[in-house]
Amino acid sequence: MRLPFGAACLVAAFLSLPLAAQVREQISVERILIDARVTDYNGDPVLGLKADDFVVKVDGKPAAVLSADWIPETAAQRELAGMDEDQRPVVTTTSEEPAPQGRLFIYFVQTDFARNTSRVSGYMSFISYADQMIDDLEQGDRVAVFSFDSHLKFRLDFTDNKGDLKHAIRQAMAIDDPPPPQIVPNPSLARRLDREQMKKCTTSDEAFILIANAVRPIAGPKSMILLGWGLGKLANGQVVMERKYPIARYALETSRVTVFAIDTTEADYHSLEAGLQKAAADTGGLYARAYHFPQLAVNRVQKAVSGHYELEIRKPVLDRRGTHLIDVNVKRPKTYVMARSSYVDTD
């Protein structure tokens, strides 16, 4: 078949181009943003790392680390980084809305509906340490408070009022129906949460999904401080995560929510702590047991939330679309890396 003269000219012109120019529009380079925390074995942040110090693999394949930016989140860390007190680094966002100036915390308190003694008394013993964590908040930090017993309860929208926060954390132990929180300036969650939907959340995993979806439009990373007694359920002698946990994990990761689980149960060991450990590890956070050494648990979390690295990586060519495993390490001995463990393709 003979092509019309005009079409033949176009084909000839295309074939005359270099091969790279012919396929340029077909190449799609996918980049992934990872919040990573690197500490020594005392829990102190490891500073001064560059992109070449990180080793990242996706499904076992090496991924190029394009950049590694240290983001100090406390005054002490900004001073170590040589920044002025009011100077804050720019946080990478996927939203047109600028990131908040301070840190955003979501306190999620598990209230045992069955009033198990080790769970209730453990939390009551920890309250004074929770007060300390609130007292240690810095200017610009904001905290929202949720509790969960038979369903999710929204007790306080993002605020820096330490008195209100301490009161809300104490009230989280009550089996009650709290009134809607007061309206606050942005960032705010009130308009993104529906009370009827919260009542339908019958597991902590479902509550995570609702909260993660509510905070997703807010730019930058967020930290969930989970004060509780466990996730998952015991089946055939082992702990398995609830049916909706994979959705909750995906929602938390895509909203840049990192879980820091403080186990307040009065026990040296209990089965459902495995669920807390998994949620923390999957999202790049940590698990700490408060029993016997509550101050140590607080110190570990506070050090972890004092700063993080923002890694931008180029995803390697993979054989499939879907969920991919992420492994982040550094080329330094005696270090501990916390970063989310998976990535889900968005299309």
- Diameter of the chain measured on Cα atoms: 87
Please list the rounded mean pLDDT of every run of 10 residues in the chain (347 residues): 48 46 47 96 95 97 97 93 66 58 96 92 97 97 97 97 97 93 94 95 97 96 97 93 96 97 97 98 98 97 98 94 96 96 87
Backbone angles phi, psi at 214, to 5 degrees: -70, -35
Provide the number of structural domains found in the chain: 1
Which structural domain range is residue 290 located in?
104-305
Residue 68 maps to a domain: no
Residue 72 maps to a domain: no
Residue 124 maps to a domain: yes
Residue 60 maps to a domain: no
pLDDT in tens, 91-112: 555 555 566 789 999 999 999 9
Per-residue pLDDT at 327: 98
Per-residue pLDDT at 83: 79
Tell me the average pLDDT of the chain: 90
Per-residue pLDDT at 82: 84
Helix (H, G, I), strand (E, B) or coil at 68: strand
Residue 151 maps to a domain: yes
Per-residue pLDDT at 25: 39
CATH number at 128 reads 3.40.50.410
Residue 216 maps to a domain: yes
Q: Which of 324, 317, 310 is nearest to 49 (CA)?
A: 310
Q: What is the pTM of this model?
A: 0.88
Per-residue pLDDT at 221: 96
Do 67 and 327 meet the contact criterion of CB atoms below 8 Å apart? no
Per-residue pLDDT at 165: 98
Residue 330 maps to a domain: no
| Helix/strand/coil (H/E/C) assignment for every residue in 72-111 | ECCHHHHHHCCCCCCCCCCCCCCCCCCCCCCCEEEEEEEC
pLDDT in tens, 201-248: 999 999 999 999 999 999 999 999 999 999 999 998 899 999 999 999
Do 291 and 254 meet the contact criterion of CB atoms below 8 Å apart? no
Residue 33 maps to a domain: no
Per-residue pLDDT at 107: 98
